[in-house]
Amino acid sequence: SAGREKVAGLLRSSLAPFRDVEISRKPPRKAQVAKASSDKWKLPQPVGEHLVFEHLPFKLAVVQELMYGQGLLRPEFDVHDFARDHAAREIDPDDYYHEMIPEVKAWFAALPIAKSLAAHVQRLYFDGGNDIYLQLIPQWDGEDEQFNITALSLQELAQFPMLREVVGTHWLSEAAQQLLRERGIAVLD
């Protein structure tokens, strides 16, 4: 009681102790009946050869461009639909603020991308609001570095002969930037 009064006194005496207060409550979940997945989100199998990635952040940048930027990679992933259809465990996408949903991460890591699509990748754009990142961490604020490209191999990069520009240097390690520039790819802020 005395501690609360001390804190209340400090707040009352401050010129502007705070402007906003947000209080939220998430109601307890009701037990759900076990369901079966529709297999709607079963990974597609590409015709012919597929691209090989060693580093997930680079793959995610390519998926952003092909799936959400150009609409060439199908199906267009929707985390909320995926969660509703997922039968192995209940997933609430809104519970994920700082870490990737493990099942979504696994889906994108295993997603095959046909080699024929590589020729369509001419530009990669990095931004905290990219659709791909909000599928993996729906409540992500874009403020940490977990999607940064800290490593990139020549073999990965060589698969994209039409790549001419990468925008968002703060998302790339110095080594990745250097490799891109050595391949004649413009690296822009």
67-105 pLDDT, tens per residue?
999 999 999 999 999 999 998 999 999 999 999 999 999
Angle among Cα 174, 179, 182 to the nearest 5 degrees reads: 125
Look at the pTM and tell me if it is higher than 0.75: yes
> Alpha-carbon Rg of the chain, whole angstroms?
22
Statement: residue 34 has pLDDT above 70: no
Judging by DSSP bridges, how do beta strands 165-167 and 123-125 pair with one another?
Answer: parallel
Cβ–Cβ contacts within 10 Å for residue 92, how many? Answer: 12
Angle, helix 56-63 to helix 102-110, in steps of 10 degrees: 80
Angle among Cα 128, 134, 135 to the nearest 5 degrees reads: 145
Phi and psi at residue 20, to the nearest 5°: -130, 150
Statement: residue 12 has pLDDT above 90: no
Statement: residue 35 has pLDDT above 70: no
The distance of Cα 58 from the centroid of its chain, to the nearest Å, equals: 11
**What was the pLDDT predicted at 5?**
82
C-alpha span between 149 and 145 (Å, rounded)? 9
Of 118, 117, 176, which Cα lies nearest the Cα of 147?
176
